[in-house]
Structure 1
């Protein structure tokens, strides 16, 4: 072969080698870009999921604050309710006519307080004597054996409990029958 042909072939082979190296470098760069793209897509999807979770949590927190935000105020008003109830219980029917107006005023105040609490989702838990003790809504203040009752029956109600929507604001304080002595 002629010297010129050999140079052309060598030049072609060198060019082919350079193109192969460039193709390999490009393939590596393409693979690196794909990996970077996949990583960025994954991070983007996680960021979207986090944003959605934060939105949902914020919505849930807003609803809970709306429903239960007044729980401290409601809890602070419950002693007022208890005192009005005790005042009405201590005022008997044998009160003089002059005291009757005062008793009516206390009754109206009590009704208004109950209405306002109810308007904001506060409902009384008013167990009756003979009901079964429920530790989810009752607090046992004492236990005593009482003939004619079963163990776990409510034998006395000291204070009513209250629920704020579906949450217990204050348990009803009750006395509970233990196993009666025979």
Structure 2
């Protein structure tokens, strides 16, 4: 077997047939009869323009992917625990009910429930869960409250909260659960 042939490189000075000097080709003055650049130059310029366009599109796509990944990462950090938080909301509600049901003389039980409730609220706050607790007389906000019933109540205006059945919760700026309230339907005088 013979030795393998070496492949010529474009910058190899011995292989002048394969070299093409683009700068020289661009500087050449066209003949008086032929004002248009040669087909080889046109093909190279067209290929350059196509490659430049593809490069710019690829760079733009890479930047969009980077921005989307950063946005997704922030969203996952902020809202990744929303399912767990939603699952813990009934625990909070049950502790509130238990505290309301404690009768007199059971101070130790009431204190234990209060401490547990306070610790749960602290964990919620640490992870961005805020309690939405409207007071009676506040205006009904359909973005944060869920009307469970409407009733006319003297001394109130239509759209006032007249009873709070359960508190609502938000995770950062997203509503996990609206506060459940009763709303006044008293007509204006």
* Band the TM-score falls in, shorter-chain normalisation: 0.7 to 0.9
2: CA distance between counterparts of 1:181 and 1:36? 76
Alignment of 1:70-89 (within 5 A): 70-89=81-100
1: CA distance between counterparts of 2:119 and 2:132? 18
**1:50 counterpart residue number:** 61
Q: State whether residues 71 and 164 of structure 1, in contact with CA within 8 Å, keep that contact through their aligned partners in structure 2.
A: yes
Q: State whether residues 156 and 184 of structure 2, in contact with CA within 8 Å, keep that contact through their aligned partners in structure 1.
A: yes
- TM-score normalised by length of structure 1: 0.81
Q: RMSD in angstroms over aligned alpha carbons? A: 2.0
2: CA distance between counterparts of 1:181 and 1:54? 55
1:140 aligns with 2:147: yes
Question: Deviations 1:85-143 (Å, cap 9, x if unpaired)?
Answer: 11111224xx22xx221111111100000001100000101100000000111111111
Q: CA deviation at 1:180?
A: 3.7
Q: 1:172/1:137 Cα in 2 relative to 1: closer, same or farther (>3 Å)? A: same
Unaligned runs of 5+ in 1: 1-19
Select 2:43's aligned residue among 23, 32, 40: 32
**1:119 counterpart residue number:** 126
Question: Helix, strand or coil for the counterpart of 2:92?
Answer: helix
Q: CA deviation at 1:179?
A: 3.1
**2:76 counterpart residue number:** 65
Q: State whether residues 140 and 160 of structure 2, in contact with CA within 8 Å, keep that contact through their aligned partners in structure 1.
A: yes
Give every structure 1 segment of 4 or more consecutive aligned residues whose post-TM-superposition deviation is greater than 6 Å: 23-26
1:152 aligns with 2:159: yes
- TM-score normalised by length of structure 2: 0.78
Select 2:180's aligned residue among 165, 173, 182: 173
Q: State whether residues 143 and 178 of structure 1, in contact with CA within 8 Å, keep that contact through their aligned partners in structure 2.
A: yes
2: CA distance between counterparts of 1:43 and 1:61? 27
Q: 1:31/1:121 Cα in 2 relative to 1: closer, same or farther (>3 Å)? A: same
Structure 1 or 2, whichever has the larger Rg, is 1
Unaligned runs of 5+ in 2: 1-30
Number of aligned residues: 158
Question: Helix, strand or coil for the counterpart of 1:46?
Answer: helix
